[in-house]
Amino acid sequence: MVVAAVYFVVAVGAAVLSGRNLDRHLQGPRLRAIWAGGRTAEARCTAVRTEEAQDAEGGFVLHSHPTLEFRTGDGRTVSFEERQSRPTPAEGDFVTVHYSAANPQDATTRAPSFGIRHARTVITAAGCFFALVSAVVIAVVA
């Protein structure tokens, strides 16, 4: 029973850390702050920068980073390079960007999604559920 309790505590801690790390990797805090502002604008793609990278298997992958320009609600013109645009707009295309009034240069074309908004909670809950089931099995078998 003690082994099951120790396992449960360690596994829940691992689930919490995994959820937090995934959230940071997916840029959850940054994106949630942008989406919370609720501001959108039409942006024009002024350029597309392409870089070549190597994937885990040694192959080469091209990453495109569009530079987008838009006007905020108070009339400021903001230009920024999108970090993760899918699909990548071509030069001259218009796309919708989400931004916060406090930090408009940190805008994104990524629309609010359930996965990004709740990744931390879902991963943590799934890990805690697995920890509970495993601890019960360990307690019954031991």
What was the pLDDT predicted at 9?
92
Cα gap 94→69, rounded to integer Å: 9
Give me the tens of pLDDT residue by residue for the chain, a chain 142 residues long.
Answer: 888 889 999 999 999 999 888 888 877 888 888 888 889 999 999 999 988 888 888 888 888 889 999 999 889 999 999 877 677 888 999 999 999 888 898 899 888 888 778 888 999 999 999 999 999 999 898 7
What was the pLDDT predicted at 61?
86
Query: DSSP string covering 81-122, please?
Result: E-SS-SSPPPTT-EEEEEE-SS-GGG-BSPPP-HHHHHHHHH
Q: Model's pTM, two decimal places?
A: 0.70
What was the pLDDT predicted at 29?
84
What was the pLDDT predicted at 87?
78
